[in-house]
Structure 1
């Protein structure tokens, strides 16, 4: 990425991030669409079809790699944790305020950094202390909600979501090296559609959704469509800017701005102590380095596309 394009790419990322959070929160909380297998199945269907179109028309600087049997076996854990993670994420966001949700998401970066760097005392004291502050402030934010019942609460589903994303991130480092981030995202979309469709029948959400009171509202259909489109482009944008300098600061600033806007948009009530903890969390996350992942092929626009079926 050239320096002149970096601010534009960061701006695109921030707009996509804030828009995706707001659209998902609106559908899940305001419209109260509490059918995660249906919602996430629709998102991954839209995202998968759109990504297939982008790859077929060479709109991205990578080509899809064919998924063979060894590749499927290698990537299967990633597919499973991806599907479980997005369903848990929907259940968490439906019950948590946007600032709390984003604060708890930050804790994963801090934990991954501590697991990777702290045992060897590498990385310097600054990032280490920042990671500790992020994790502690996130835990304190949960504990500050003294009236919560953890069983089947949004906090429980947030914990499941973070665990799935964490394992998926670590697994990406040992997965079949032939498959880049775009490949894994595309096949994860396909796998999720295949898995969530029968799951919605087994959990009877496919039948319950027939009685959804807002099923004929245009904003409901627009929100569901936008959630899939924004989710795809947010993933692609994140892959592009994640390894760039200043990403931690840009991401933390975007989360803070999104949280402030959400406080004035949604009716979630957040106490003053929780607001202080969340602010501490966001400020500390600026100094937490992004966990190392495989190099993204399409970040370097001069690189050659992957060969089909390699």
Structure 2
């Protein structure tokens, strides 16, 4: 049941965000992501007060320790929002998955950890898929790829910090709670300097019910997806959880092509399949390791 919830939440949330960003062209990421994190933070706080989750990150040292990761989290959602407004969901997910190359390289070169051959091959396939996509994408958008690269760099750095020994005492819920709080504050402060605060008044669909519905759906389902994924990780082995998440990404990519105009040439499809094979190989290596 938790997996079905996470899978359905994943494709509805991403397609809802894609609809708001690309179809309605709501290109005000500080406001959009500020709304997303505000809803998530409020729902997580209510869940804490109702006793559904436990949050212990209340000391100043915990907050300061996690602050660099929260900065990266803001970079992830901001750059991801900018990229998703210009790129097809399968393309975005393929580039997003390339963050695993950064994590694998850090483990191999800096932490001197033993890396299995399947994981190395997986990183190479993911890198090749992401590297070839810009040259074979018939809907190539320079700005979209630029923000996607910023996004994947932030994702890679965030996951490296998340695995740091100094941060292990914080639970996933603690980390997400601090991410939400910091994101709301930083994005609210950035809304005016970026011009989003006043430019949004000229948005033609500001009072359009589909716009309001999509924003609400993406906000609530974003929290729902996060909560379901954490529950999934709590009672499944890492390899099994990675397999279900991979399956959810495949479902999301497939459904997005039915909902949005996506031009896929043979070359583009080859890059996407190469990226999918690389992620499947990564799932296999994690299941074998677990």
After TM superposition, the score normalised by the length of structure 1 is 0.83
Equivalent position SS for 1:95: coil
After TM superposition, the runs of 4+ consecutive aligned structure 1 residues lying more than 6 A away are: none
Q: CA-to-partner distance for each residue in 1:182-216, whole Å, 9 max, x for gaps?
A: 11111111111111112111111110101110111
CA distance in 1, matches of 2:190, 2:51: 33
Match of 1:192 among 171, 183, 207: 183
Match of 2:49 among 40, 56, 62: 56
Alignment of 1:203-282 (within 5 A): 203-242=194-233, 243-282=237-276
Aligned CA distance change for structure 1 residues 205 and 290 (closer, same or farther; 3 Å): farther
Match of 1:158 among 148, 153, 161: 148
Q: For the Cα contact (< 8 Å) 1:47–1:231, is it kept in 2?
A: yes
Q: CA-to-partner distance for each residue in 1:125-178, whole Å, 9 max, x for gaps?
A: 22321221122112111232488564xx11111111111121111112334444
- Confirm or deny that 1:42 pairs with 2:35: yes
CA distance in 1, matches of 2:254, 2:209: 27
Name the one with the larger helix percent: 2
**When the two structures are aligned, how many residues end up with a matched partner?**
281
Alignment of 1:1-310 (within 5 A): 8-60=1-53, 63-117=54-108, 122-145=114-137, 148=140, 150=142, 153-174=143-164, 175-242=166-233, 243-289=237-283
CA distance in 2, matches of 1:167, 1:291: 21
CA distance in 1, matches of 2:122, 2:167: 33
Q: For the Cα contact (< 8 Å) 1:18–1:254, is it kept in 2?
A: yes
CA distance in 1, matches of 2:263, 2:232: 33
After alignment, is 236-245 or 72-81 more displaced? 236-245
Give the superposed CA RMSD: 2.3
Equivalent position SS for 2:190: helix
Can you give the 5+ residue segments of structure 1 that lack an aligned partner in the other structure? 1-7, 293-310
After TM superposition, the score normalised by the length of structure 2 is 0.89
